Amino acid sequence: MSRGMWIGSVLTALMLGLALVSLVWTPYPYAQLDIPNKLLPPSLAHPMGTDHFGRDILSMIMVGIRTSMGVAIVAVAIGLAFGIPLGLLASQRKGGWVDEMIMRTNDVIFAFPLLAMAILITAVFGPSATNAIIAFGLFNIPVFARVTRGGALSLWEREFIFAARVAGKSRLRISAEHILPNILGILIVQGTIQFALGIQVEAALSFVGLGVQPPTPSLGRMLADAQTLVTIAPHIAIFPGLAIIGIVVGLNLMGDGLRDWLDPRIRVVRT
């Protein structure tokens, strides 16, 4: 494993750990207001200080990471669940009408910028975590469909697939038994990258008030709330910012590392 992947994995594990711990324990209840103790700088009692309502920032960040990761994971899962079957279906008969229909629909969705579409969906259907998930999940479908199709197309030309076809296996069965296992690597890598993107999208939507609604903490909204306070209490912007950077950098490094590690051709060159 490369050094980048190590750093990425450690960062991701750390963030995931914080998110998981928040399920059972946070230093303080994250929604507990303590207005007399607002904007306290970091101290032993509050390792990351308190925000403008006197809430403990560490507790909020732990839950915020969980929220962001939750949104991103479900959105990626939606993309995988719909994108992979569509991609496999399209690759089975390259150039056929099924392929054309799936891929051209993909092109249409790709034509809209991700954030603009996410803002549109959350603005029309109301801001909530569910709508943020739907918006980003919808965008993930063509991403995974395209990656799946691309990976599968080259496999359909390979001898072991011919062998399977000669043996009388149906296209569907070949897709499931031979194609899918062989493209799992690129899908995992793409999944990691989409996951990191999902964290950013959630943060961006929450920053403009269209993501997770209060009182559930969200890293993006913590940053937005900190805007006017950053000059008097920088810590309330720095820590949520660091958390977002931590997750995104961690996942991207891990994704890059995984790609190198899972791709046999590159591995051969390295060793």
Partner 1 sequence: MGIFDSRSVKLAGALVAGLWWSTAHAQSDITIALQLEPPHLDPTSAAAQAIDSVLYTNVFEGLTRFMGDGSIVPGLAESWEISDDGKTYTFKLREGVSFHDGAPMSAEDVKFSLDRARAEDSANAQKALFDGIAEVTVLDPLTVQVTLANPNGSLLFNLAWGDAVIVSEASIADIKTNPVGTGAYKFAEWVQGDRIELTRNDAYWGDAPALESATFKFISDPTAAFAAVMAEDVDVFDNFPAPENLPQFEADPRFQVLVGSNEGETILSTNNKQPPFDDIRVRQAIAHAIDRQAIIDGAMFGYGTPIGSHFAPHHPAYVDLTGNSAFDPEKSKALLAEAGMADGFETTLHLPPPSYARRGGEIVAAQLAEVGITAEIINVEWAQWLESVFKGKNFGLTIVSHTEPMDIGIYARPDYYFQYDNPEFQTLMETLNTTTDPAERDALLKQAQQIIAEDYVNGFLFQWAKLSVAKAGVQGLWADAPTAAIDLTSISWSE
Query: Which residues contribute to the site for partner 1 (CB under 8 A)?
Result: 31-33, 35-36, 38, 52-54, 126-127, 209, 213-215, 227-229, 231-232
Nearer to partner 1, 113 or 126 (CB): 126
Q: Give the DSSP letter of residue 179.
A: I
Q: 181, 174, 172, 140: which is closest to 157 by C-alpha?
A: 174
Nearer to partner 1, 113 or 209 (CB): 209
Q: Give the shortest CB-59-to-partner 1 separation in angstroms.
A: 14
Nearer to partner 1, 174 or 219 (CB): 219
CA distance readout (Å), 46 to 27, 43, 94, 167, 216: 8, 5, 59, 66, 19
Q: Give the shortest CB-48-to-partner 1 separation in angstroms.
A: 19
Count the Cβ atoms, other than its own, within 10 Å of residue 95: 9
Nearer to partner 1, 122 or 190 (CB): 122
Please answer whether residues 212 and 129 qualify as being in contact, where contact means their C-beta atoms are separated by less than 8 angstroms: yes
Q: Give the shortest CB-206-to-partner 1 separation in angstroms.
A: 11
Cα of 80 vs its chain's centroid, Å: 12
Q: Give the shortest CB-235-to-partner 1 separation in angstroms.
A: 14
- The Cα 237–Cα 226 span in angstroms is 5
